[in-house]
Homo-oligomer: A and B are copies of this chain.
Amino acid sequence: MSLSTFCEPIFPAIEADLQRQISRLDDLQTHLFHEMLTYHMGWTGEGAGLDAQGKRIRPLLLLLTNSSCGSDWRPALPAASAVELVHNFSLVHDDIEDDSEKRRGRITIWKKWGLPIGINSGDALFALSNLAILELSSTFPPDTVIKAASVLHATCLDLTRGQYLDMSYENRIDVSIKEYWPMIAGKTASLLASCTAIGSLLGGADEPTQESYRSFGHYLGLAFQVQDDYLGIWGDTELTGKSIESDLLTGKKSLPILYGLERNSDFAHRYIQGPIQPEEVSALSEELTKEGARLFTQENTDRMIDLALQALHIANPSGEAGEALYELLHKLVSRRA
């Protein structure tokens, strides 16, 4: 059974629950505030539609994990909404912090309605996420709910840690590869790990199995980010569907760039001299390949995928949802250009 067939009823259920969560703000006085959030979520306004909504990978991962423990995924929906709301709160704030004018092809909320509205909207999504996770208490034992909320909140703190590290690396040229891992662990892997941890907790898995699922989500997140870093230099625009602005231009401390800097050869000598110009991108990408950065990045993606696979084998997911989890990992690999 294909991922898409098994997931057919899941996607609309996620979307409906997210809309219900956000409708907490839909009253007479804050109607427009509510509309700003539904715009960001991709449901309303110019350019609304599937592309504007993003892939909802995190809630899907949580529900598939939950289902692969032999559980009915429907009662876990508020947790799925919670992780997606956390993801979106961080996107809204990241877009301000990175001065990004576009998100999923549309004007960002802060660019459309101003900086104060942008910050406040992110805060609202954060608060909505906190409320969503507590909704589990209508179906799950209170101890389980507290554990799920603890995992989610610890992840939110991890997100700010990762974001801080990312910012602190921006103006440094001596960032080591060793420093790369805790940054992406916080920025990317922690939330994916909390999806699989919470999904399996709510699925009734025992603690060692929860830990295997958590580990699967963690390595899936690392693999996903390293792959993203790969595509940020050698990505094929048509294949990824993104209009790529090379990471060489944005100054991002991605893994291939850190590799090049550590080699301290031709790439590094040029890089530390100051901003790269668009016409240099092609030659510098080739130089990075020549110095071994491409292979190194591919090897690291593969290593993370292997570790994710090992953890998933140990977790031993069952049924169609289990197959879908393997397929999700496979889809990640095939993103390679």
Query: Would you call the interface of chain A mostly helix, strand, loop, or mixed?
Result: helix
Q: Is the CB of A134 within 8 A of B146?
A: yes
Given contacts A93-B119, A96-B119, A120-B93, contact A127 B146 (CB under 8 A): no
Q: Does residue A45 face the partner (Cβ distance < 8 Å to B)?
A: no
Number of A interface residues in the complex (CB < 8 A): 48
Contact residue among B30, B134, B160 (Cβ-Cβ distance under 8 Å from A149): B134
| Residues of chain B with a CB closer than 8 A to A128's CB | 157
Choose the segment among A161-169, A250-258, A265-273, A310-318 that binds chain B (4+ C-beta atoms closer than 8 Å): A161-169
Q: Is the CB of A127 within 8 A of B156?
A: yes
Q: Is the CB of B120 within 8 A of A164?
A: yes
Binary flags per residue of A64-83, CB closer than 8 Å to B gives 1, else 0 = 00000000000000000000
Q: Is the CB of B116 within 8 A of A157?
A: no
| Residues of chain B with a CB closer than 8 A to A142's CB | 141-143, 145-146
Q: Is the CB of B126 within 8 A of A123?
A: yes
> Once the chains are docked, how many angstroms separate the CA of A143 from the CA of B127?
20
Contact residue among B97, B117, B160, B167 (Cβ-Cβ distance under 8 Å from A124): B160
A binding-site residues for B, Cβ under 8 Å: 24-25, 29-30, 32-33, 90, 93, 96-98, 115-117, 119-124, 126-128, 130-131, 134, 137, 141-143, 145-146, 149-150, 153-154, 156-157, 159-161, 163-165, 167-168, 179, 182
